Chain A
Amino acid sequence: MRVNLTVNGRREAVDGVWEGESLLYVLRERVGLPGAKNACEQGECGSCTVYLDGMPVCACLVAAGQAEGREVRTIEGLADGDRLDPVQRAFLDRGAVQCGFCTPGLIVQAHDLLSRVPDPTDAEIREALAGNLCRCTGYEKIIEAVRLAVARGAGPA
């Protein structure tokens, strides 16, 4: 089937989509945006987090057909050209990135948190990131990166 959607502001008409296919597969394999990562395929790890109509979701749990006519924003859509989003910048500056696999999902989720809660408590940060698994960092640098973004006044973008 054909699925029409907007990805990072660009309209896409994707053909040959299998009916049971996920939005994640469409983004990675058909639209060519490998930023959202494919790991658990059951919503457990958060690595595939993208915005769907402004709401962070696990792209692996959205059927491609459900994205028809809707707007998707991926990690690739956060930076403004070469200018990184403040959350991306903070992850780099704090060394919150090791293998990098979980990073796109964490950044989208943190980005959403800061757009809603400009000055979150640690508990709020931890709850927001509770669905994003990282196997290397131990999370401390990640939390520090979010705090750094807050300190720099990362807000709605």
Chain B
Amino acid sequence: MDFLRPATWEEALAAKAERPGAVPLLGGTDVMVEINLDARRPAALLDLTAVPGLNAWEHAADGRLRVGAGVTYARLIAELGDVLPGLAQAARTVGSPQIRNRGTVAGNLGAASPAGDSHPPLLAGDAVVEAESAARGTRMIPACAFYLGVKRSALAPDELIRAFWAAPASGPQYFSKVGTRNAMVIAVCSFAIALHPRERRVGTGVGSAAPTPRRAQEAERFLAGELDWTGGAPLDARVAARFGELAARAAAPIDDVRGTADYRRHAIAVMARRTLTWAYDDYRKKAAECA
């Protein structure tokens, strides 16, 4: 095994082009587990910790946030929790403090596990993955086009994730996760919602209930049409229930060690209804304050 330690982003891209089998390494919370347990023996590790700038985030010119691949969950929670609340909530459910001190959203993206906690809020918030290769330069991949299959993503073998982009929340966002216990747990299933009041649009993300994280598009369209965007009326219980049903219909879960497909479908419906209730309550409160 080789340990590659590029000192610049250009060196990292060159290394990845020359050694497409090299496994990018940042927090190590996934990769090192596989190596420790002898489940994987990559030909090379591509350690990105020394690459300058990866651990920074910035407000881009278009108003969105550009969050470097090396920004840990802990920093995301502390520094971006108020602007990316859905993602920060999901980050708070990742592993333990020790894991959150190392793990990154980019690592979650790179692993592309259907159960990755950051995927549903990235989908609900229309995040975009910034990938780059030495040969073809930068490519912007919307989260909804990023996940291709179980642990398969749109990332090419010579590409590295440099950052992700997401707009600061313009409305309430919530994340909910079912686990077999309270901490240190992989999702049985999860759900994220984001209200986008300016466009009167709803974003969703379904986690760990299909081969890939995915949006519940029918549920999004339904809710966007039914929601009282003036915030005047309380949430119609039938609308909330229907939203849950449609969200569950977007799922294509399997039976496995963590839960049955039936349970997952049911839980998605419940989480969709609950997160919507929380989000809409916040929305109404805000609308009442502004009135």
Which residues of chain B have C-beta atoms less than 8 A from A128's C-beta? Answer: 97
Q: Contact between B25 and A131 (Cβ–Cβ < 8 Å)?
A: no
* Distance from A6 Cβ to chain B, minimum over Cβ atoms (Å): 16
Q: Contact between B182 and A61 (Cβ–Cβ < 8 Å)?
A: no
Interface residues of A in 1-23 (CB under 8 A from B): 1, 18-20, 22
Taken residue by residue from 113 to 141, chain A's Cβ proximity to chain B (1 for < 8 Å, 0 otherwise) reads as 00000000000000110111000000000
Q: Does A103 contact B (CB under 8 A)?
A: no
Q: Does A66 contact B (CB under 8 A)?
A: yes
* Set A60, A66, A132: member contacting B36, Cβ < 8 A: A60
Which residues of chain A have C-beta atoms less than 8 A from B101's C-beta? Answer: 55-57
Q: Does A62 contact B (CB under 8 A)?
A: yes
Which residues of chain A have C-beta atoms less than 8 A from B99's C-beta? Answer: 43, 58, 61, 131
CA distance A61 to B29 in the complex (A): 6
Q: Contact between A56 and B36 (Cβ–Cβ < 8 Å)?
A: no
Chain A residue with the shortest CB-CB distance to B26? A66
* Set A41, A58, A65, A112: member contacting B3, Cβ < 8 A: A65
* Distance from B40 Cβ to chain A, minimum over Cβ atoms (Å): 9
* Distance from A116 Cβ to chain B, minimum over Cβ atoms (Å): 10
Q: Contact between B98 and A63 (Cβ–Cβ < 8 Å)?
A: no
A-B contact pairs, 15 of them (CB 8 A): A42-B37, A46-B98, A55-B101, A57-B101, A58-B29, A58-B98, A61-B32, A61-B33, A63-B32, A63-B35, A65-B5, A66-B49, A130-B97, A131-B96, A131-B184
Residues of B whose CB lies within 8 Å of any CB of A are: 1-3, 5, 25, 27-29, 31-33, 35-37, 41, 44-45, 47, 49-50, 74, 95-99, 101-102, 182-184
Residues of A whose CB lies within 8 Å of any CB of B are: 1, 18-20, 22, 41-44, 46, 49, 55-58, 60-63, 65-66, 68, 109, 112, 127-128, 130-132
